[in-house]
Structure 1
Amino acid sequence: MRVVVVGGGISGLASAALLAREGHEVELLERHDAVGGRAGSWERDGFRFDTGPSWYLMPEVFDHFFALMGTSTADVLDLVAPEPAYRVFFEGHDGPFDVARSRAANVAAFEAVEPGAGAALERYLDSSGDAYDMALRHFLYTTFASWRPFASREVVTALPRLAPLLGRSLEGFVASRFDDVRLRQVLGYPAVFLGSSPDRTPALYHLMSSLDLDGGVRYPLGGFAHLVDVIARLAVQAGVTLRTGARVTAITTAAVGARPGGGDRPGPPPPGPRRPRARATGVRWTDADGAVHRTSADVVVTAADLHHVEQDLLPPRLRGRSDRSWNHGDPGPGGVIAMLGVRGRVPELAHHSLFFTADWAENFGAIRDGRVPRPASAYVCTPSRTDPTVAPAGDENLFVLVPVPADPSIGRGGVDGAGDPVVEQVADAAIDQVARWAGVPDLADRVVVRRTVGPGDFAADLASWSGSLLGPAHTLRQSAMFRGSVRSSKVAGLLHTGGTTIPGVGLPMCLISAELVLKELRGDTGAAPLPEPAAAPVATGPGTASAVPGDR
């Protein structure tokens, strides 16, 4: 079939690559001059920054995707394992807390903070690992088009154990097992990776802890922009036509009985609802010069924010969700980002460093109420601690992220302090906080490169719902089958992929989402990952992924 993919983020690239490898004729349209979406790159004066994702988790998902593309992670990425996995600074406590790659080391560290917490962590990680394995086998790779996969003996047997985790918050689940607030925060913070907060995230998501406390944190040398380049290259090799500078302005449709793609060949029936109101025939788009183009297709796959797709690219009668439904949804937090080039080393910071305020109720409550937290918890990625290619020799690059409300009125960022006032104030406060808590008093004076990004940028540049940083929060009402569907409920031949759809936010979830598009086109309603082709030869050269003890 002829397929057009709207959006060149990782989910769009992965969807295009898988569909082209399947034998479809695929064209991808990306509005910007480069692909990557949130996983972009920015460089100045020898400092190179990933502008979005920075955690390489769920390695099994990457391994599976590359296997589907006829290669392997070892062939295309050089993975290293930061040690410590990450470092945590707590407001009101002296000294940081290091989370190691080794489960045994983390058990010992928890025990040193709170007697009995080591054994409690062992039990917690056993439960977390079981939930993660169950999710991979039965829940993450399903389109929810059929309930039959959930009637398996393993799922039915596990229901008495899993069901209570859906009705309880992650915060409460952790608090019932650990007393020290620092340990609670370490185990509760993964909720932020899901665009939510520990008090609103179902306890089932404690499965995230098996990813970072049990040997799962890695980093691809060259950064996440290199990962995007790898997937883009695989897509082109599979036959995808990549077109940048192509802004899609509408999804074109026709009556249900019209021929697919608007052409003279009938083609197979496209996937879609049983009683569609229309069928997708392609897209209308403008190039960099403003010229209008039309691309016909049997299937349209949107990898853009679902809110943008429905509100801006479809007429009201063909939208899957009402305005009222969107207004009652939770877009997740926004974010202020500061990309800093720093002269000299900052050994006080690890590759990943977290800065937690003491009053989390106020921190997360402020974000929900539309207020910028003061003080605010923050995350700092310093990839130059691991990767010498991202900064001049002897210097560091810092990616500072502060969760704030998803509100474009907070403003947009800029270079060298030229962003909107609130954005620059949040960035200044974060730099000062990192300097004080980590013991780097001259940090601000050593910054020679600075660029900020705010919720206004996410809204304008990525068409993100309300300027959301990641995508809809993983609350109970916005998880699993309650999240955006891979298939339009009104338009035959219109499919959706990306962080705003199932299974959720994050690079691994986006790769799974791409696979769900392929499963939908195949009519595969199973819950298991697609079968992999014969294993690719194992690489032994410099591109080989580093052997890491404790890999799952």
Structure 2
Amino acid sequence: MTAATRGKVCVVGGGIAGLATAALLAQDGWDVELLEQHAELGGRAGSWSAEGFRFDTGPSWYLMPDVFEHFFALMGTSAAEQLDLRLLDPGYRVFFEGHEQPLEVSAVRAENVARFEALEPGAGQALEAYLDSADEAYAMAVDHFLYTSFEEFTSLASRRVLLKGRRLAPLLLKSLESFVAARFDDPRIRQVLGYPAVFLGSSPDRVPALYHLMSRMDLADGVLYPQGGFSTLVDAVAGLAREAGATLRTQVEVTAVLTEPPTRRGARATVRGVSCRDASGQERVVEADVVVGSCDLHHLETRMLPAELQTYPERWWARRDPGPGAVLVMLGVRGELPELAHHTMFFTRDWAANFDDVFDARQVPDPASSYVCRPSATDPSVAPQGHENLFVLVPVPADVALGHGGVDGSGDAAVEQVADAAVAQVAAWAGVPDLADRVVVRRTVGPADFAADLNAWSGGALGPGHVLTQSAFFRAGNASTKVDGLLYAGSSTIPGIGLPMCLISAELVLKRLRGDRSTGRVAAPITKEAAR
């Protein structure tokens, strides 16, 4: 559509991708209405409060700050104007099974080089080369692979990509695990460099080596935190969407995508809006020229469309990897916990078996590696004075049969057992023997909760994992091939999972509606005057 024919857009889902899509399209001159089934916006980036504690229930890492900055610039503002960002130092702390001393990752690249060198002679110089390669790979990704819908493949045939081809091809054909192992011997270093695969919903032996670019974000760029928690990011994006003119409605469940049949043989159906149900149970139709599904793609395709109009039917999903599930444990703890950094990892010795259990055997690892966020180390607003806020994440299979979580141990037995083991692990490895006795608030979340609350395919915690066959142009596209005007955003589609990728997915919707097939970022800021 041209600027002169912009019309009505209905965005399904009020997570960060849906909110960003609503903001960008409203800023570009569209009439936007967003529908969210829950009472609160945010989706996976949710929030839960109890007894003076406030927990982020989803994303807790602020990485790729340039992506956030670009999004805010498109909206005519900046991250500094919208958020109170703090640089974490250490960026995170890692406890390794069988080693008494943890490793701290600094906010300064040179310090990380020195720490790696102390673990393994020669590792410092190897890390410098590794991070230089990560810088190059990241620049390549931003310029050619992240900000494109792959509607045409001229981007892959550009002179620069072809010149880099000899280095790019091996990064796609070998695993991150083998790429790291060829450069470092110390298992602790290998684990630190392999762990970013978990952010990608996979494991180091399953993601392409190209994703070593992730290490530049924590080892060179530093890790940030928005004071007040990630709900402040949700609030900021929602506020910008409203300022741009978007209407954001909560407690409205979309039940079907409505279409018009093709007008001639060989043509495709055309979207005409959605049917939905509000909190009172009243049914209504929202007419729209464009529908953007930013909810779980499996749910939209297999539940909101008839079989003949599904681009991604059940048989397509049967051949795909849902990524990991997770057991989340939110703990309010009496007293201080200086043994833990803002971000702390607990890595088991048998690294490969841990991932095999999650992705192949589809059983809960024992022992399991885990991640703990202690935002109260940085942000006094998330816990009462004299208390700490802990968010624990244990990767498990994406399997709804593991069950639901609950408050104060009321969740299903398998979920509570995982939570108990994680608390015991933190207590033993970090040297906090009375941790369990100091817990005053506890809530767990299991894979069945992700499925029930977020319609997450298979109960996955993040979205489809970034194995090679689910990365870049192999990932689900952001437009229906059966229904004109039906587009997609969010972690299920390109470019992938995580907050930065969701922001980019929103920009890809904007580019597709503009007919922009370039591989670069949209020029900032977007102005309604220019759109008209």
> What are the Cα deviations for residues 94-126 of structure 1, in whole angstroms up to 9, with x where unaligned?
111001011100000000000000000000000
TM-aligned CA deviation for residue 234 of structure 1: 0.5
TM-aligned CA deviation for residue 276 of structure 1: 4.8
1:332 maps to amino acid: G
* Residue 179 of structure 1: aligned partner: 185
Aligned residues: CA RMSD: 1.2
Aligned 1:140-179 pairs, distance under 5 A = 140-179=146-185
Give the secondary-structure state (helix, strand or coil) at the position aligned to 2:522.
coil
In the alignment, the residues of structure 2 paired with residue 478 and residue 147 of structure 1 have an alpha-carbon distance, to the nearest angstrom, of 17
* Residue 122 of structure 1: aligned partner: 128
Are 1:133 and 2:124 counterparts? no
* CA spacing shift, 1:440–1:126, aligned 2, 3 Å: same
**Structure 2: where are the runs of 5+ without partners?**
1-6, 528-532
Give the secondary-structure state (helix, strand or coil) at the position aligned to 2:256.
strand
In the alignment, the residues of structure 1 paired with residue 418 and residue 356 of structure 2 have an alpha-carbon distance, to the nearest angstrom, of 17
In the alignment, the residues of structure 1 paired with residue 525 and residue 77 of structure 2 have an alpha-carbon distance, to the nearest angstrom, of 9
In the alignment, the residues of structure 2 paired with residue 489 and residue 438 of structure 1 have an alpha-carbon distance, to the nearest angstrom, of 52
Are 1:40 and 2:52 counterparts? no
The counterpart of 2:285, out of the listed 290, 294, 305, is 294
In the alignment, the residues of structure 1 paired with residue 354 and residue 80 of structure 2 have an alpha-carbon distance, to the nearest angstrom, of 41
1:248 maps to amino acid: V
* Residue 12 of structure 2: aligned partner: 6
* Residue 227 of structure 2: aligned partner: 221
The counterpart of 2:418, out of the listed 414, 418, 426, is 426
1:317 maps to amino acid: E
TM-aligned CA deviation for residue 500 of structure 1: 0.5
TM-aligned CA deviation for residue 324 of structure 1: 2.2
1:461 maps to amino acid: D
TM-score by length of 1: 0.93
> What are the Cα deviations for residues 181-237 of structure 1, in whole angstroms up to 9, with x where unaligned?
000000000000000000001000000000010023100001101100010000011
Give the secondary-structure state (helix, strand or coil) at the position aligned to 1:321.
coil
Give the secondary-structure state (helix, strand or coil) at the position aligned to 2:88.
coil
> What are the Cα deviations for residues 355-393 of structure 1, in whole angstroms up to 9, with x where unaligned?
000001110111121101010000000000011111111
* Residue 277 of structure 1: aligned partner: 268
TM-aligned CA deviation for residue 147 of structure 1: 1.3
* Residue 189 of structure 1: aligned partner: 195
The counterpart of 1:404, out of the listed 396, 399, 403, is 396
The counterpart of 2:369, out of the listed 372, 377, 394, is 377
2:453 maps to amino acid: D
Give the secondary-structure state (helix, strand or coil) at the position aligned to 1:403.
strand
Is 2:27–2:526's contact at 8 Å kept on the other side of the alignment?
A: no
Aligned 1:474-485 pairs, distance under 5 A = 474-485=466-477
* Residue 435 of structure 1: aligned partner: 427
In the alignment, the residues of structure 1 paired with residue 453 and residue 369 of structure 2 have an alpha-carbon distance, to the nearest angstrom, of 25
TM-score by length of 2: 0.96
TM-aligned CA deviation for residue 155 of structure 1: 1.2
Are 1:29 and 2:35 counterparts? yes
- Shifted more, 388-397 versus 193-202: the winner is 388-397
> What are the Cα deviations for residues 21-47 of structure 1, in whole angstroms up to 9, with x where unaligned?
011000000000010000010011111
* Residue 503 of structure 1: aligned partner: 495
In the alignment, the residues of structure 2 paired with residue 87 and residue 6 of structure 1 have an alpha-carbon distance, to the nearest angstrom, of 38
TM-aligned CA deviation for residue 251 of structure 1: 0.2
* Residue 516 of structure 2: aligned partner: 524
* Residue 270 of structure 1: aligned partner: none
Aligned 1:22-421 pairs, distance under 5 A = 22-257=28-263, 276-368=267-359, 369-421=361-413
1:476 maps to amino acid: L
**Structure 1: where are the runs of 5+ without partners?**
259-273, 536-552
In the alignment, the residues of structure 2 paired with residue 236 and residue 449 of structure 1 have an alpha-carbon distance, to the nearest angstrom, of 35
* CA spacing shift, 1:118–1:341, aligned 2, 3 Å: same
Give the secondary-structure state (helix, strand or coil) at the position aligned to 1:143.
coil
In the alignment, the residues of structure 1 paired with residue 18 and residue 119 of structure 2 have an alpha-carbon distance, to the nearest angstrom, of 44
* Residue 550 of structure 1: aligned partner: none
In the alignment, the residues of structure 1 paired with residue 463 and residue 437 of structure 2 have an alpha-carbon distance, to the nearest angstrom, of 35
Are 1:461 and 2:473 counterparts? no
Are 1:448 and 2:440 counterparts? yes
In the alignment, the residues of structure 2 paired with residue 216 and residue 134 of structure 1 have an alpha-carbon distance, to the nearest angstrom, of 20
Give the secondary-structure state (helix, strand or coil) at the position aligned to 2:69.
helix
TM-aligned CA deviation for residue 275 of structure 1: 5.8
In the alignment, the residues of structure 1 paired with residue 162 and residue 386 of structure 2 have an alpha-carbon distance, to the nearest angstrom, of 56
In the alignment, the residues of structure 2 paired with residue 275 and residue 91 of structure 1 have an alpha-carbon distance, to the nearest angstrom, of 61
In the alignment, the residues of structure 2 paired with residue 533 and residue 289 of structure 1 have an alpha-carbon distance, to the nearest angstrom, of 40
Give the secondary-structure state (helix, strand or coil) at the position aligned to 1:139.
helix
1:239 maps to amino acid: G
Give the secondary-structure state (helix, strand or coil) at the position aligned to 2:221.
coil
Is 1:252–1:281's contact at 8 Å kept on the other side of the alignment?
A: yes
In the alignment, the residues of structure 1 paired with residue 96 and residue 483 of structure 2 have an alpha-carbon distance, to the nearest angstrom, of 50
In the alignment, the residues of structure 2 paired with residue 231 and residue 533 of structure 1 have an alpha-carbon distance, to the nearest angstrom, of 15
Say how many residue pairs are matched. Answer: 520
TM-aligned CA deviation for residue 321 of structure 1: 2.1
TM-aligned CA deviation for residue 533 of structure 1: 2.4
In the alignment, the residues of structure 1 paired with residue 186 and residue 235 of structure 2 have an alpha-carbon distance, to the nearest angstrom, of 43
Q: Report the identity percentage.
A: 64
* CA spacing shift, 1:166–1:448, aligned 2, 3 Å: same
In the alignment, the residues of structure 2 paired with residue 313 and residue 360 of structure 1 have an alpha-carbon distance, to the nearest angstrom, of 40
In the alignment, the residues of structure 2 paired with residue 276 and residue 122 of structure 1 have an alpha-carbon distance, to the nearest angstrom, of 54
In the alignment, the residues of structure 1 paired with residue 69 and residue 142 of structure 2 have an alpha-carbon distance, to the nearest angstrom, of 13
TM-aligned CA deviation for residue 148 of structure 1: 1.8
Give the secondary-structure state (helix, strand or coil) at the position aligned to 1:398.
strand
